[in-house]
Structure 1
Amino acid sequence: MDLAVIGSGQTLSVSDAVFGREFSEDLVHQVVVAYRNAGRAGTKAQKSRSDMSGTTKKFKKQKGGGARHGDYRAPIFVGGGVTFAARPRSFAQKVNRKMYRAAISAILSELARQDRLKIVDAFVVDEPRTKAFVAKLADLGVSRPLIVTEDASESLYLAARNVPYAEVRDVQGLDPVALVGAEYVVITTDAVKKIEEWLA
């Protein structure tokens, strides 16, 4: 299939396997959830009754004082242990490489079908100034964009750093959450070739 290159009047021939794949909502959802879960720390920890420090001495007589209790570490007391206390754990979900790459291809294909995938020859900012970056976005007519380049320059990163609705990534840093969250995805022609090598 061919995609139009903005500003040049030419088209770029791309792989149907990468940019013409059928969209699978179930697959994309599974990969996005797994990616987000992999970023969770999972370090939450609470102390149960058995983890609490303190004496286990019976603090009052057995009869005549209401409820019977052996020690103050019981969960019903302030400062006592937590019932069903949280433990450190991993939230990671297994997603094999084939599924991950298929999900990336499905997202890119759906973006292309919805005309939210913009191909440009290059996306270069001469100096690290936010004003220049915003002006370039205005020329493209895109909102909330994800800019994907083969090897993003430092000037481009610095120029985009202060724009809360825009994000710059190189091909190595591309992930499903960034693609799904962007209104438009602007990709350079060199980055397209690199993505095809990665996902082919």
Structure 2
Amino acid sequence: MELLTKDSLESVVLSKNIFNKPFKENLIHQVIVSFQAMHRQGSKSQKSRAEVKGSNKKPWRQKGTGRARAGSVKSPIWRSGGVTFASKPKKYVKKINKKMYKEALRSIFSKLFYQNRLVLLKDFSINSCKTFLLVKKLKDMLIKSVLIILSNYDKNLFLASRNLHMVSVCTTRNINPVNLIFFKNIILTIDSLKKIEEYLL
């Protein structure tokens, strides 16, 4: 298995253990659900009637006043009373084993390879952190929706891509299944490809 670099026209041999795996839809779905659930805040909090500040004394006697019966000013039907089913902080984490996560990434990379969505370059950089430079470079490559995976942090590329909705830049340490599937094309450098193979083998 080989992939041709677009800028230097050199072919690079790809590992069959990463780029020649069957597409496991169920596993990928499970990993994506887990990844998205992990990023839910779950920090919503409301006060129940037990936590609302106020007296537990009966506001007025049960009969004879002409008003509705009331047992507490903390009642949920009263203004500023407690919430009936109060929301509390909750963790939405769904555990995924490392082997499952890595196998899902292998499956995704294999699918990207067979769909010709991987673009391999010897190097990818711009001289300044100007967005128009990055747009021009991608336009020359006829690429619109793209995830650029780098081996190391590149300040110019990160700053230049911030205002572009369909362009994202990350390092090999920050790749995730959601971004790999969302973007139409994936740009890899030779160095980032080597790091991905080291991580997934």
Q: Give TM-score scaled by structure 2 length.
A: 0.92
Are 1:89 and 2:90 matched, yes or no?
Answer: yes
C-alpha offsets along residues 131-177 of structure 1, whole Å, 9 cap, x if unaligned? 22111111221122100111132222222223232111111111122
RMSD (Å), alpha carbons: 1.6
How far off is 1:11 after superposition? 2.1
Return 5+ residue gaps in structure 2 as ranges. Answer: none
Q: Which residue of 2 aligns with 1:114?
A: 115
Q: Which residue of 2 aligns with 1:129?
A: 130
Q: Which residue of 1 aligns with 2:69?
A: 68
Pairwise mapping of residues 145-156 of structure 1 onto structure 2 (< 5 A)?
145-156=146-157
What number of residue pairs does the alignment pair up? 200
The 2-side partners of 1:161 and 1:48 are apart by 42
Contact 1:152 1:168 in 2 (8 A): no
Residue identity (%)? 38
Q: For 1:167, what is the secondary structure of its paired residue? A: strand
Letter of the 2:24 counterpart: S
C-alpha offsets along residues 103-154 of structure 1, whole Å, 9 cap, x if unaligned? 1111111111222111111111122222221111112211221001111322
The 1-side partners of 2:2 and 2:68 are apart by 78
Letter of the 2:150 counterpart: T
How far off is 1:63 after superposition? 2.4
Structure 1 segments of 4+ aligned residues over 6 angstroms from their partners: none
- After the TM superposition, which of the residue ranges 66-75 and 185-194 deviates more from structure 2? 66-75
The 2-side partners of 1:141 and 1:27 are apart by 32
- After the TM superposition, which of the residue ranges 161-170 and 3-12 deviates more from structure 2? 3-12
Q: Give TM-score scaled by structure 1 length.
A: 0.93
How far off is 1:56 after superposition? 1.3
Return 5+ residue gaps in structure 1 as ranges. Answer: none
Q: Which residue of 2 aligns with 1:176?
A: 177
Pairwise mapping of residues 156-195 of structure 1 onto structure 2 (< 5 A)?
156-195=157-196
Are 1:35 and 2:35 matched, yes or no?
Answer: yes
C-alpha offsets along residues 31-64 of structure 1, whole Å, 9 cap, x if unaligned? 1121122122221110111111101111122125
Q: Which residue of 2 aligns with 1:144?
A: 145
Q: Which residue of 2 aligns with 1:47?
A: 47
The 2-side partners of 1:130 and 1:178 are apart by 21
The 2-side partners of 1:123 and 1:179 are apart by 18
Letter of the 1:79 counterpart: S
Q: For 2:32, what is the secondary structure of its paired residue? A: helix
The 2-side partners of 1:67 and 1:100 are apart by 59
The 2-side partners of 1:112 and 1:141 are apart by 18
How far off is 1:67 after superposition? 4.5
Q: For 1:147, what is the secondary structure of its paired residue? A: strand
C-alpha offsets along residues 2-51 of structure 1, whole Å, 9 cap, x if unaligned? 12221333321111121111111211111112112212222111011111
